[in-house]
Structure 1
Amino acid sequence: MESITIIYIVLAVLISVAIAFFQYFYKVNRTPKVHIILFSLKALSLFLIGLLLINPKITTLETENIKPVLSVLVDNSLSTQFFKEEQNVKNVLSEIQKEEAIQDKFDVQYFSFDKEVSVLDTLSFSGVQTNISKAITAVNELNKGKVSTTILVTDGNQTQGNDYEFTTSTNKIFPIIVGDTTQYQDIQIAQLNVNKYSYLQNKFPVEALLYYEGKDKVNATFSILQNGQKVFSKQLEFSPNNPAQTVTANLLSKTKGLQYYAASISKISNEKNTKNNYKSFSVEVLDEQTKVLLLGSFLHPDLGALKKAIESNKQRKVDISLIYDKNIKFDDYQLYVLYQPTSYFKNVFDKINSNYLIITGTKTDWNFINRQNLGVQKKVINQKEEYSALYNADFLPFLQENIGFDHFPPLQDKFGEVQLKNEAQNLLYQKFAGVETTQPLLSTFEENDKKYAMLFGEGIWKWRASSFLKEQNFESFDSFIGNLVQYLASNKKRKRLEVTSERLYPANAPITISAFYVDKNYQFDNRANLEITLTNKETKEQKKLPFSLVNNSYQVSVEGLMSGEYTYKVSVANQNITSNGQFKITDYQIEEQFTNANQKKLQALASKTNGVVFYPNTINQLLQDLVNDKTYYTTQKSITKEQNLIDWKWILFLVVAFLSIEWFIRKYYGKI
């Protein structure tokens, strides 16, 4: 206690005694014994009031016994049910709970886990994903700095998260392995890699990773089916020395829309689990052919190079025309490439109704371009100049890698400084006489709903030839032109209602669909009421559910839907705004892909953390070992607590009691 506080307390004592003395003894000729009692009550009550006003801090020392922590993690996923181990898990839990020596020695904490970790309430064994690594990490963080250990009741099969075998843990982990540990021959589709989109009449790749476990050499057939029809098949041979194979299939997109496929690997002899032999996937086939017009006043090698580059994508068709052609139907095209415009292009800008790309060069009429209000001005002299390209990594409108622009031959244009009056994004800058500048070489513009671009130089055919010499193909250059054309040809406006969902959901998995709704100013609107209508394509059964507002989006979760194809319609109340989509719920259960418990990984985890593997029939041995293990001990912790005296409410009650007794005594003896 501080010295100044002690001084205040002494003053409180003196003042309390002085006031009580003045009231009951000062100038009093006869002192009855009752005055001594009244003096004491007055002095004590005044002192206590003064003490509360001073409010000194009282320091106390408390000792707390802290038991070691025993965390029991129980696997609550579907794989436990698939292995028919529910009763074994419950028996293990019961043995731990009724062992009094364990309860006395440890602070026992019970948790269940699937893809998330939660305090154990009831076990349903219905989790559709398993994340063992997350469960171990969670209890380690919870008991950080404490003497603790973990019992892990699981089959060891993980479908989500980091590999738990390499989880860092300073505490011992004792896995109790449930499920069949016998090794069976098994072949499975470990992974499927496929693009989400494809264009009509284009081929798209499907990559399948196949894995075999067994001691014998086996043959199997990998197949892909669509609507029950086989579209790909391949015979494969597996052995212990060749357990993994990757198969790539190039499938043709024949029908527009969302297409579902089923991949399978044939069953081998003595295979116990065949549910992991099948996987479904989907591809959305787009039919969006773009027609492009290359319009010039003279023929040039650039026109042929651009036509070949653009048409490398079969969804694009290019026509080359000269400005003097009177039969051009401008409405037939989605994109225009205006090559070295002159005054003959005067009426073109009034006729085109879409986006465009302008390429300038040595024969360009810059006086004409300067009058078109394109946001670009260039004061030129009648002199040719060469400009090399300098790649800008900060270009934002679309993703374009550096394909070696810095090493391409220079382009030619008339000499002069380019001034951009409209906001532009520059993919390429000019390098003039080896000096890097911020003058644009390729710029893109967006104005209201229109997009256009300008390439300041002719000779791009040399870039295509140079790219071929470097890579022995035209893919990089054609992809660059394709990206530019795709950006310019796209006029897609933002919808006020955007709905996001997966195309395929595993059976029994919760289905989450999110929606983003904006007002007419394209600001997120949190006042809307959104509703989804789900329709089973086969049974026509419908289900309506409202969306919930979650942060800056709307979300709805759907459970209990049977396998099959579904369509959905999301609508906004009191608005004529809807969004439609579809998805499929497969029969595939990711938790049923395993043939046995993963004994190998659990043993590795136990070994790494200095633990030991046990089984349900040896649980009592584990409990006895934990009771006898002297590394788990109760610790004592001294806690120093500071408390303000004013928090002691009983002092206030004491003051009231003293003052009340004093008042009653004085009343009784007629002192009032």
Structure 2
Amino acid sequence: MNSETLLLIILAGITAILLAGFQYFRKSKSMSKQNMLFMFLRFISFFSIGLLLINPKFEQISKSIEKPNLIVAVDNSNSVNYLDQEENVENLVQQIANNKMLADKFNIDFYAFGNDLKNLDSLTFLDKQTNIDKVFNQLNQVYKNSTSPTLIITDGNQTYGNDYEFSFSKYKQPIYPVILGDTITYTDLKIQQLNVNKYAFLKNQFPVEAILMYNGNENIDSKFVVYRGNNVVYSQNLSFTKSDNSRVINFTLPASNVGVTSYKASLIPLEIEKNKLNNTREFAVDIIDQKTKIAIVSSFLHPDLGVFKKTIERNEQRSVSFLEPQQLIDEIDDFQLVILYQPNYEFKALIEELNTSNKNKWIVVGTKTDLEFLNSVTTYFQHEITGQLEEYQAELNMNYTPFMVDDINFESLPPLRSSYGTLNFNIPFETILTKTINGINTFEPLLATFDTNSRREAILLGENLWQWRAQSFVMSKSFNPFDDFISKIIQYLSTNTQRTRLNLDFETFYNGSTSVIVKAQYFDKNYQFDPRESLTITIKDKVSEDMQTIPMVLKKNSYEVDLSNLPPSKYEFSVSAAGDNISKSGTFQILEYNVEQQFLNANVIKLQRLAAESSGKSYFIKDAADVIQDLIGDNRYLPIQKRHKNSLPLIDWKYLLLIIVLSLSIEWFIRKYNGLI
């Protein structure tokens, strides 16, 4: 409280005494006890009111003790089980949880990681992937502004994600790896990697690349063999030495049968090998007898054109060609879909030919589109011409029915630029994305599809689609979400199959370490998405004949089921609606491969570097008790006493108002009792 406020309080007290004395002394020559009581009560009232008007502020000081955090992140992947370390891990976690000195010094938070980072509930060691990079990224968001030494119990073998040795640099906490495994080097032959396209075309040859590794000191001979069923389709004899310890084999296989064809690659193991699981890999190829050809027509260059090509050709079943309008007219029968990028009068003959031949097309409208021309060549819609430009962001229409669309966080994508005005349809249409301006949904179509005369068409009212792909990568660290979105539109436009009330979304085969997700959309008779229906999936193992029925879970605008717990095999399934006589079937195959079982040793060197560069220390699991004592004795991690000073205005003190009310009430009651009122 400053001196000025103190002076005002003294002045308020003197004023309150003078006012109270003036009221009770001016008519009496002597002061009775009753008048003195009245004067005191009146003084309290005046002085309290004066304090409220001055409203002085008082400082309140509180102290608290803040302990540092101790983060314990435990590897819950299958490699821990395969290295026979699960019991050691569980014992160490129990020791940390039960150590009273450690609990007195730290706030201990336990996490488990594998596919994802989550709070530690129980350890199963069943996760099929390990992403240590995600561990540091997510922990950094929570503990960025605190002292939080991190104890990570792992073998250090990461199966996907960015290299954690470089990404951890953003994580400003000391790291204490507890290494699961040893430094013993075992003799080992393994298939390090198999590279093969997902799709191949009938009667063609498809390439396969195999990377083979040898770890050992002796000169050895082996053989690389590829089987289709029980038949050998490729083989090669190999020799390895300590210095010449790797081979890259490139060969081709014939695509002779339509559908999913499974293969098994095997590197004949040595008798002394400890791990023979990594000598065999299964792979599959989906062989198709037709390739979808798509033409992109534009009268000028734009980054969007490259994005269309890159995204569409990500699927090996599709190829893209850039053609001029007149050139395409001569080759129009070779293409299943035509993308017209910002058409103008140069496209007149082409559009007439497309309408005559009843070809599917996708029109992209932008700042250089001739709207007057576009309105003149189509009777299905008319675009209002205002001569002004506008930037539109997108919002997903959750009731879009022709096919399933995943929300890739459209609201966070950059705006598309196009002509301002309303698009009016003369025929039924389906809106995929609606326009939003400054966060307000206009409920006008930004991207829409429609069927007419047995052909399918789409219209997108915006350019700079390349910015969407770039921003999608920034948000998800992958181009896949955006590419999958465009791919589904291409798939829909390049076929003329009539829509159904039950649509399925699944892969024809899954690698053993990936999630097996089957999705479905169910629509009512008006083709509106129906979230009230109960969908079930019945799965049959074609090898063992085992069957099971599982309910599908509603998630946003689709139903889905996670079948990742199914063993590798060939499956057929059927999805059916409980309240309607509708079902749809499909088949898929799960390949046998567990990436977590490919490791013989912990990644000791990388974990030791991780500890050294973060000012921590590494330990082997057999010496794990030492890490507890080192953490307890480390003077860098001491509780911090924090002093909190709050400035509290007197007006917030409610008791002062109570004092004013009581003093005035008591004075009035006594005066009334004595007949002075």
Structure 2, unmatched stretches of 5+, are: 294-316, 319-326, 339-347, 356-360, 365-372, 379-449, 458-489
Query: Cα deviations across residues 47-90 of structure 1 (Å, max 9, x unaligned)?
Result: 55775687665443444444343322222222222222222123
Change in 2 beyond 3 A, CA 1:355/1:47: same
Change in 2 beyond 3 A, CA 1:669/1:107: farther
Give the aligned residue type for 2:626. Q
CA deviation after TM superposition for structure 1 residue 516, in Å: 5.2
1:536 to 537, 540, 555: 540
Give the aligned residue type for 1:264. S
Which shows bigger deviation, 41-50 or 601-610? Answer: 41-50
Q: Corresponding residue for 1:625? A: 630
Distance 2:491 2:565 in 1: 42
Distance 1:162 1:567 in 2: 35
Distance 2:537 2:216 in 1: 47
Query: Cα deviations across residues 365-414 of structure 1 (Å, max 9, x unaligned)?
Result: xxxx97995599xxxxxxxxxxxxxxxxxx9889xxxxxxxxxxxxxxxx
Q: Corresponding residue for 2:269? A: 267
Q: Corresponding residue for 1:79? A: 79
1:95-106 aligned within 5 A: 95-106=95-106
Give the aligned residue type for 2:251. A
CA deviation after TM superposition for structure 1 residue 553, in Å: 4.2
CA deviation after TM superposition for structure 1 residue 4, in Å: 10
1:283 to 285, 291, 300: 285
Change in 2 beyond 3 A, CA 1:173/1:533: same
Is the CA contact (8 Å cut-off) linking 1:86 and 1:125 kept in structure 2?
yes
Normalised TM-score (structure 2): 0.62
CA deviation after TM superposition for structure 1 residue 543, in Å: 0.9
Q: Corresponding residue for 2:529? A: 525
Query: Cα deviations across residues 438-465 of structure 1 (Å, max 9, x unaligned)?
Result: xxxxxxxx9945589xxxxxxxxxxxxx
Distance 2:2 2:652 in 1: 19
CA deviation after TM superposition for structure 1 residue 13, in Å: 6.1
Change in 2 beyond 3 A, CA 1:289/1:150: closer
Q: Corresponding residue for 1:581? A: 586
Change in 2 beyond 3 A, CA 1:286/1:228: same
* Aligned-residue CA RMSD (Å): 4.8
Is the CA contact (8 Å cut-off) linking 2:519 and 2:558 kept in structure 1?
yes
Give the aligned residue type for 1:546. M
CA deviation after TM superposition for structure 1 residue 519, in Å: 8.0
Q: Corresponding residue for 1:235? A: 237
CA deviation after TM superposition for structure 1 residue 617, in Å: 3.2
1:566 to 556, 561, 571: 571
Q: 2:149 is paired with a residue of what secondary structure?
A: strand
Change in 2 beyond 3 A, CA 1:667/1:209: farther
Distance 1:654 1:527 in 2: 61
1:104-253 aligned within 5 A: 104-166=104-166, 167-168=168-169, 169-253=171-255
Structure 1, unmatched stretches of 5+, are: 292-314, 317-335, 341-348, 358-368, 377-394, 399-418, 424-445, 453-485
Query: Cα deviations across residues 170-223 of structure 1 (Å, max 9, x unaligned)?
Result: 433221112343221222223332222223222222323323222223333323
1:653-672 aligned within 5 A: none
Is the CA contact (8 Å cut-off) linking 1:290 and 1:489 kept in structure 2?
no
Change in 2 beyond 3 A, CA 1:23/1:122: farther
Distance 1:121 1:266 in 2: 41
Distance 1:173 1:189 in 2: 33
Change in 2 beyond 3 A, CA 1:20/1:491: same
Q: Does 1:641 align with 2:646?
A: yes
Q: 1:612 is paired with a residue of what secondary structure?
A: coil
Normalised TM-score (structure 1): 0.63
1:610 to 599, 611, 615: 615
Distance 1:371 1:584 in 2: 43
Distance 1:535 1:580 in 2: 10
Give the aligned residue type for 2:284. S
Change in 2 beyond 3 A, CA 1:521/1:12: farther
Q: 1:567 is paired with a residue of what secondary structure?
A: strand
Change in 2 beyond 3 A, CA 1:90/1:10: same
Is the CA contact (8 Å cut-off) linking 2:536 and 2:578 kept in structure 1?
no
Q: Corresponding residue for 1:387? A: none
1:19-58 aligned within 5 A: 27=27, 32-33=32-33, 36-37=36-37, 39-41=39-41, 43-44=43-44, 48=48, 58=58
Is the CA contact (8 Å cut-off) linking 2:517 and 2:564 kept in structure 1?
no
Change in 2 beyond 3 A, CA 1:527/1:58: farther
Distance 1:289 1:157 in 2: 40
Q: 1:262 is paired with a residue of what secondary structure?
A: strand
Distance 2:573 2:562 in 1: 13
